[in-house]
A and B are shown apart, each in its own frame.
Chain A
Amino acid sequence: MANPIKPDRSVITTCAYCGVGCGFKAETYQGRVVRMIPWKEGKANHGHSCVKGRFAFDYYQHPDRVRTPLIRRSIEEPWREVGWDEAIRHAASELRRIQAKYGKKSVGAVSSSRCTNEEIFLVQKLARAVLGNNNIDNCARICHSPTQFGLSATVGWGAASQHFDSILQADVIMVVGANPTEGHPVFGSLIKRRVRQGATLIVIDPRHTETVDSAHCRATVHLALRPGTNVAVLDSIAHVIVREGLFNERFVRDRCEWDEFEGWSALVSSDRYAPERIGPEAGIAAEDIRRAARLYAGGPNSAIYYGLGVTEHSQGSTGVMCLGNLALACGMLGREGVGVNPLRGQGNVQGGSCLGSWPHVFSGYRFVTDPDVRGSFERDWGVTLDDEPGLRLPNMFDAALTGHFRGMYIMGEDPVQSDPNQQHVIAAMRNMECVVLQDLFLNETSRYAHVFLPGSSSLEKEGTFTSAERRVNRVRKVVEPLAGHQDWEIVVKLMNALGYPAQYAHAGEILDEIARLSPAYKGLSFALLDRIGSAQWPCDENAPEGTEVLHKVSFPRANGRGTFMLTEYVPTVERISDRYPLLLTTGRILSQYNVGTQTRRTANSLWHPEDLLEIHSEDAKSRGIADGELVTVTSKFGSTRLRAKFSQRVNPGIVYTTFHHAQSKANVLTSDLSDWATNCPEYKVTAVEVARVAAPQERAAACRNETAAVEEATA
């Protein structure tokens, strides 16, 4: 093997793994990536990195990569290798055939937060302008859609109010339903740094995460609440703030809608949200709720960072509103060191949200039902657009089961593995007549696909990502696309085959179109980003190099004022019972990434070869389970096997697992319950029972299979 010490080329690009958006120098030798060096000028990482961005890049040339388009008439048949023209022609004619037979709205598209802004924008253009309906969604549906809804409702924009470095001026840091040390490691380090400098840390999370207690980082208050009680606990914190008069009246009067504040404070100050009532229900001490409330309101600078532990609930959007309400009531918005900030899971979740990959809004979160907004797109695209909202991703599956939805174009997603209630999703996929899947690998969803278009990794394309701090970073082509085309080029081919004359000389022209049609992205271009490195939206004539802190003078709402939503606690219907007495919740580990499609195909799997079920020794012993033993986990919806790991990180009554490996099938267990506003699935609360795997010989066989699977994954 050639010594990789002396690369012959170096390209500055952006890591695609999480929403931090670290800058890297991708160094190549003879056309192959040999190392990823964290870039000192990267505005999010300042030369730092984690073990995913730094080491997990080899997946791009893994033997599993598909290099040729594939088609087949039915999912029972083997795949047939074909040329690009035939695959695209086949996909287009199938989608049109289905529309002719079942109606214009019988097909749709899904894009991914692993793809660039330009690609995400093009896929929604394909759905709206070419397929002629608004059946377009993206994977933020199943993670951060409540963020868009809840923050738009209270502060006006569904995005982080701050830049990451703002935390270095925070006095109190409140982390809710997130584990940045594992999930967003480079930002997690920044939190630790600020805590070492003396900031107070409050963590609201069912698990004793590494953020709660690890080297260099200890929470002053940890509310280890029972999964599903977020809204009750956040309302109880608000209760203390209102009852004890700790809110910032001047800020509320000057910057917010006072009437709505009064309505909200009447609701939360009700006796039913007293810590003495909520504490026992949530499994935490009333005094800890009071301490958290006093610390947060006391600031002087308090900043909220939250993750999927807030959003992935039947009251996910309400939980996000609770955070918006709290920040407004305490005046913790509009300057450095404060704010409400979602930590985004994938590299481009924020971009996915911004760029109109939603059935109800165009780019910039503007409704498809608004004739003025729709008119601007109709003029630019030269077609008449559907004026009604389309189907959301879970609704597409629901509609497939009633026969109303028959065809789907999926770019860079694996819904069979990542979406909840797997049996339901598989039944829906089987009901479709044509599934066109564009991905790097034959993933779980490919079993139900009819056309496979081999896509390109983020190392093989030009474009931009928008990170969790609204920072638009350049993604640059480091190596040639293995299957010949960047993903946006494949979308253009499909648009053309469907009869729409799209043409772009390079990805930068798509960003120009985005800028033309989206106010917050107005000033962005490849030229600007190549000149200044990156820019946070809004970027326009008032802020030609972008905006670090939002809401300094006013909120982006019609009257410029922040507002309060009534956030009544409605317990989820998913509850423990005699049959399913434990609550399962899920999360991530440092070395792996989401469903693991990429990281499992790198040596990072040596660190995390399998998903484990964390269980308190008390719960394990009462079931006769030994540490390290294989167990069956069963919910109302299905059953899977995992290896038990005794853990002090979960309280009795709670079990926890990661979902990085397909064979763990965590989503066989999850329910079809979802957020009231957005249908974001309730991944974080599932009632389960855990039992020893019965017969010893069965267990031995399972062990052998597990070992084989691990070897395969790490090979």
Chain B
Amino acid sequence: MMTAELAYPEAMGETVLDTNRLITMANQIGDFFAPYPRARRAEGIRNHLRTYWDPRMREGLLAHIERGAEGLHPHVIEGARLLLQTDRATRGYYGPPKA
């Protein structure tokens, strides 16, 4: 095998995707929901992350927020934090964010 050339021959990186990639993607999602009123904006971001992101990507983003959230827009942080309130979670949906 050609494992000598692998960036991670046996072990795995700390996050499933490079953290900078997660930040870029999360901020892009935030840019889309930015025009909505605050509560809907946060919910739109939550629903998107919950329905489209692999759980390890969500964990990576939340871990980055725990570490100070550098580079993330404030409303993205707000939306991502809603992921932690699993009791308030709604089913995935298409369409405008709900209030």
Q: Note whether A and B form a binding pair.
A: yes
Residues of A near any B CB (own CB < 8 A): 73-76, 102, 105, 149, 152-154, 156, 257, 260, 263, 267, 314, 317-318, 359-360, 365, 367, 369-370, 388-392, 395, 398-399, 401-404, 430-431, 433, 557-558, 563-566, 568, 570, 676-679
A314 closest partner in B (C-beta):
B28
B50 closest partner in A (C-beta):
A369
CB-CB under 8 A from A102, the residues of chain B are 12
Given contacts A153-B94, A398-B17, A402-B17, contact A391 B2 (CB under 8 A): no
Given contacts A152-B94, A369-B91, contact A76 B32 (CB under 8 A): no
**Cross-chain contact B12 with A404 (CB below 8 angstroms):** yes
Please give the distance in Å from B93's CB to the nearest CB on chain A: 8
CB-CB under 8 A from A430, the residues of chain B are 2, 5-6
Please give the distance in Å from A263's CB to the nearest CB on chain B: 8
Given contacts A152-B94, A153-B94, A565-B96, contact A390 B36 (CB under 8 A): no
**Cross-chain contact A563 with B56 (CB below 8 angstroms):** no
CB-CB under 8 A from B21, the residues of chain A are 398
**Could you give, for residues 75-93 of chain B, a 1 whenever the CB lies within 8 Å of some chain A CB and a 0 otherwise?**
0000000000000000111
Nearest 8 CB-CB pairings of A with B:
A403-B8, A402-B13, A676-B28, A403-B12, A367-B92, A152-B94, A566-B35, A398-B17
**Cross-chain contact A677 with B96 (CB below 8 angstroms):** no
CB-CB under 8 A from A679, the residues of chain B are 25
B29 within 8 A of A: yes
**Cross-chain contact B16 with A570 (CB below 8 angstroms):** no
**Cross-chain contact A563 with B95 (CB below 8 angstroms):** yes
B60 closest partner in A (C-beta):
A402
Given contacts A73-B1, A677-B32, contact A403 B11 (CB under 8 A): yes
Residues of B near any A CB (own CB < 8 A): 1-2, 5-8, 11-18, 21, 25, 28-29, 31-32, 34-36, 48, 50-57, 91-96
Interface centre among A359, A399, A402, A679 (most CB of B within 10 A): A402
Please give the distance in Å from A151's CB to the nearest CB on chain B: 9
**Cross-chain contact B55 with A388 (CB below 8 angstroms):** yes
A257 closest partner in B (C-beta):
B96
Q: Given A74, A156, A395, A401, which contacts B54 in the complex, CB threshold below 8 Å?
A: A395
Given contacts A404-B12, A566-B36, A570-B32, contact A389 B95 (CB under 8 A): no
CB-CB under 8 A from A677, the residues of chain B are 29, 32, 48, 52
Q: Given B1, B18, B51, which contacts A401 in the complex, CB threshold below 8 Å?
A: B18
**Cross-chain contact A76 with B2 (CB below 8 angstroms):** yes
Q: Tell me, in angstroms, the Cα distance from A74 to B5 when the chains sit together.
A: 12
Q: Tell me, in angstroms, the Cα distance from A349 to B72 when the chains sit together.
A: 35
Q: Tell me, in angstroms, the Cα distance from A566 to B56 when the chains sit together.
A: 29
Please give the distance in Å from B4's CB to the nearest CB on chain A: 11
CB-CB under 8 A from A257, the residues of chain B are 96
CB-CB under 8 A from A431, the residues of chain B are 6-8
Given A399-B17, A401-B7, A677-B32, 6 other A-B residues pairs in contact with their CB atoms under 8 A: A314-B28, A388-B55, A402-B7, A403-B6, A403-B8, A570-B31
Please give the distance in Å from B94's CB to the nearest CB on chain A: 4
Q: Tell me, in angstroms, the Cα distance from A237 to B53 when the chains sit together.
A: 33
CB-CB under 8 A from B95, the residues of chain A are 152-154, 557, 563, 565
Residue contacts A-B, CB under 8 angstroms, 19 given: A73-B1, A74-B1, A153-B96, A154-B95, A156-B94, A359-B54, A367-B51, A369-B50, A391-B54, A399-B16, A401-B7, A403-B6, A403-B8, A403-B11, A403-B13, A430-B5, A568-B34, A677-B32, A677-B52
Q: Tell me, in angstroms, the Cα distance from A450 to B87 when the chains sit together.
A: 45
Given contacts A156-B94, A398-B17, contact A389 B1 (CB under 8 A): no
**Cross-chain contact B51 with A369 (CB below 8 angstroms):** yes
Please give the distance in Å from A351's CB to the nearest CB on chain B: 20
CB-CB under 8 A from B32, the residues of chain A are 317-318, 568, 570, 676-677
Q: Tell me, in angstroms, the Cα distance from A388 to B94 when the chains sit together.
A: 17
CB-CB under 8 A from A565, the residues of chain B are 95-96
Please give the distance in Å from A571's CB to the nearest CB on chain B: 10
CB-CB under 8 A from A433, the residues of chain B are 1
Please give the distance in Å from B89's CB to the nearest CB on chain A: 9
Q: Tell me, in angstroms, the Cα distance from A678 to B28 when the chains sit together.
A: 11
B17 closest partner in A (C-beta):
A398
CB-CB under 8 A from B5, the residues of chain A are 430
CB-CB under 8 A from B57, the residues of chain A are 395
A566 closest partner in B (C-beta):
B35
**Cross-chain contact B29 with A676 (CB below 8 angstroms):** yes
**Cross-chain contact A267 with B16 (CB below 8 angstroms):** no
Interface centre among B5, B17, B51, B53 (most CB of A within 10 A): B17
**Cross-chain contact B51 with A260 (CB below 8 angstroms):** no
B26 closest partner in A (C-beta):
A676
CB-CB under 8 A from B14, the residues of chain A are 402
Q: Tell me, in angstroms, the Cα distance from A105 to B95 when the chains sit together.
A: 29
**Cross-chain contact B16 with A402 (CB below 8 angstroms):** yes
Q: Given A367, A388, A392, A403, which contacts B91 in the complex, CB threshold below 8 Å?
A: A367
CB-CB under 8 A from A392, the residues of chain B are 52
CB-CB under 8 A from A260, the residues of chain B are 96
**Cross-chain contact A568 with B35 (CB below 8 angstroms):** yes
Q: Tell me, in angstroms, the Cα distance from A403 to B2 when the chains sit together.
A: 14
Q: Tell me, in angstroms, the Cα distance from A153 to B28 when the chains sit together.
A: 18
Q: Tell me, in angstroms, the Cα distance from A78 to B67 when the chains sit together.
A: 47
Q: Tell me, in angstroms, the Cα distance from A606 to B79 when the chains sit together.
A: 55
